Amino acid sequence: MSRAVVTGFSSSDYALRLRGPMVADKTTTIDWRPGEWPRVGGPPAFIASAMVRAGFADVVPVSWVGQDRDSETFRAALSDAGVDIGGIAQLPGRMPTSVLAYGPDGGCHCLFDPAITVPQRLDERQSALVARADWVCLTVGPPEVTEQVLALIRPESKLVWSVKVDERVMPGDLAARVAARADIAAWSRGEAEFAAKAFAGSATDRPDRLLIETRGGNGVILRAGGEEARFPVRAIETSDTTGAGDTFLGGFLAAFIQEPGDARAAIRHGIAAVEALLKARLRNNHQGSETP
């Protein structure tokens, strides 16, 4: 079986829904938060977990956590879910955290605390995992790590780029280099402009490259070989969509790695993975806290 790694930042996620818009110098009421607070977060965790749930266990998240109790809880939760945690390094500092505040319009304010007090780079073990992998999924992470991944990945290995708009760690020139190497790239509608600039700057046009755009309740678009295919989704009313795009990509990759000739079927597997995630959250909402 092909081996896959997923690189990028990890975090403990504090998701919540706001009653009104956030305005400076004014208090905004938290309308609801889930019972699982915080929960395991970060693209590597979401993608790898979705792959494992889909039956593809040969995947390793390559990431970093701190050395506190919250970091141990994070690693234990992933391990209990069947995810290999051998690629998660523990560095001096606390567990990185994200606050994901969803407004009434569905938009999200993301506040990220890196917490770790030393530079995050691939260590010897992590470098070996990337170098041996047949599939490398690159998500948002330190620019030094992105450089390492581009240097370590074998020519015959597949690079999957999970696009995130954060020019602090993915400046335009680096994004263009990642785009040039990517065999598959996936982004959300809000990230489309950033992705378009990266591919325009890459000066590459590979007909075999798969480009995937998720559009929430408006479905998924697959572009490949000069053709475009659209896939509808079943709308699920929820304000807590944290990790949905990463879960889609994990479900897609689990199917596509095992059946690489059928991207359309893999897209449908990705959609099914998101539906399962969101429905599970709706079932668990009664465990959350709703403000009267």
Using one digit for the tens of pLDDT, what is the confidence trace for 21-31?
Answer: 988 999 999 99
CATH number at residue 135: 3.40.1190.20
Q: Is 57 exposed, middle or buried (0-12, 13-18, 19+ CB in 10 A)?
A: middle
How many residues belong to the chain? 292
Q: Which residues pair with 91 in a beta bridge?
A: none
- If one compares 257 and 216, the residue with the highest pLDDT of the two is 257
Max Cα-Cα span within the chain: 57
Q: Are 289 and 32 in contact (CB under 8 A)?
A: yes
How many structural domains comprise the chain?
1
CA distance 18 to 213: 27
- If one compares 237 and 188, the residue with the highest pLDDT of the two is 188
CA distance 190 to 169: 18
Domain interval for residue 144: 4-290
Please, which pLDDT band fits residue 241 given cuts at 50, 70 and 90?
A: confident
C-alpha dist (Å) from residue 98 to 181, 232, 251: 29, 30, 23
pLDDT tens digits for 194-219? 999 999 999 888 889 999 999 988 99
